[in-house]
Amino acid sequence: MRLPKLASREYRLVRPPAPLTHGAGQLWEQVALPLEARRVRAPLIVNPANLAPLSSKSNLVVIHDAAALRDPSWYSAGYAAWQARLLPTIARRAAAVVTPSEFSRNELIELLAVDPSKVRVIAGGVDSRFSPQADIERARVGLGIENPYVLCVASRTARKNLSSLEPAARMLAAEGIDLLVGGGDRPQFRDQAPLGTVRSLGYVDEALLAGLYAGASAFVLPSLHEGFGLTALEAMASGVPTVLAAAGALPETGGAAALYADPNDPIEIGNQLLAAIGRADLAAAGIERAARFSWDSTATKLDQLVGELVDSK
């Protein structure tokens, strides 16, 4: 995210060394980050990824969702326990909490017992490279795609509910359409059983991702829980008819520009996908919807909040 510079303030980006990931990175966040903030006399630490140093009360923390507290079974036992221990304290001690949807705001207030006046909704944005004009052929060649396809972009974790796509994949296959899933996995996520009819692309290189979206006949995200649903907006911006789970923040994010299905009803998901394919009106509505979300707007609103917090000190 690009943060605009205020006339009287500037932002300094601090990140852990490359070898520090996951557990080691969180140790850096708790020990090294607050020390560096004190060294440069930073009035505020902007933490963009759910956690923040416990020793500092000058945190603005972006908490994207509380999924690990809502259902710990979606994550590894260690990760869920770490989130349950740290997240409520971080949220309550923070100067402010930012989250991307009203759904997540309500969930944070409920699960973290955070003061509602401290929780601000600032939605995410869509990068301009996601558009119907993206290089479709490059993606098809680079990923070995031959048939028409429906796309899902999601990490391989139980929360994303990818197993529900198997019946849809069989329904689409009868029409000569493949169902592809792009996305990697992470050690803190609980995986599902290997996909069958659904073709897993694994991690998709950023250079191919926009074209992969733009070439899809439809997009689907069957998640059981989403704090925002960025990949849904990326698909909409790409001019792709979109089917979303009627769960979490997805109806809030997609609005009337998507079709919805019960994430626990795989047949309904398949039927909605078949209904979405070829819907030019749905594609146009998605482009219009996605245009309301930009990173410039996100950065400007976050910058304004930073200014409020710094000026109040």
Per-residue pLDDT of the chain (313 residues; tens, 9 = 90+): 444 454 456 888 888 887 776 667 778 888 999 999 999 999 999 999 899 999 998 999 999 999 999 999 998 888 889 899 999 999 999 999 999 999 999 999 999 999 999 999 999 999 999 999 999 999 999 999 999 999 999 988 889 999 999 999 999 999 999 999 999 766 545 455 546 789 999 999 999 999 999 999 999 999 999 999 999 999 999 999 999 999 999 999 999 999 999 999 999 999 999 999 999 999 999 999 999 999 999 999 999 999 999 988 7
Task: List the CATH number of the domain containing 303.
Answer: 3.40.50.2000
Domain co-membership, 80 together with 204: no
Q: Do both 68 and 167 map to the same domain?
A: no
Q: Strand pairing of 259-261 and 199-202? A: unpaired
Which two structure tokens, joined as six digits, stand for 203? Answer: 């991690």
Q: Are 257 and 263 in contact (CB under 8 A)?
A: no
Q: Structure tokens of 61? A: 């923390």
Report DSSP state, residue 199. E
Element (H, E) at 180: strand 178-182
User: How many domains are there within the chain?
Assistant: 2
Tell me how crowded residue 301 is: count the other CB atoms within 10 A of its CB: 15
Check whether residue 284 and residue 298 sit in a common domain: no
Instruction: Decide if 140 is inside a domain.
Output: yes
Length of the chain: 313
**Does 283 share its domain with 301?**
no
Tell me whether residue 18 is in a domain: no
Position 276 in a domain = yes
Q: For residues 138 and 121, give the distance between their C-alpha atoms in angstroms, rounded to a whole number.
A: 37
Residues 22, 187: Cα–Cα separation, whole Å? 9
From the number of C-beta atoms within 10 Å of its C-beta (0-12, 13-18, 19+), residue 250 rates as buried
Asked, for residue 47, whether it belongs to a domain, the answer is: yes
Residue 88 lies inside a defined structural domain of this protein: yes
> CA–CA separation, 23 vs 20, rounded Å?
8
Residue 121 lies in a domain: yes
State which amino acid sits at residue 142: G
* Domain extent for 219: 136-290
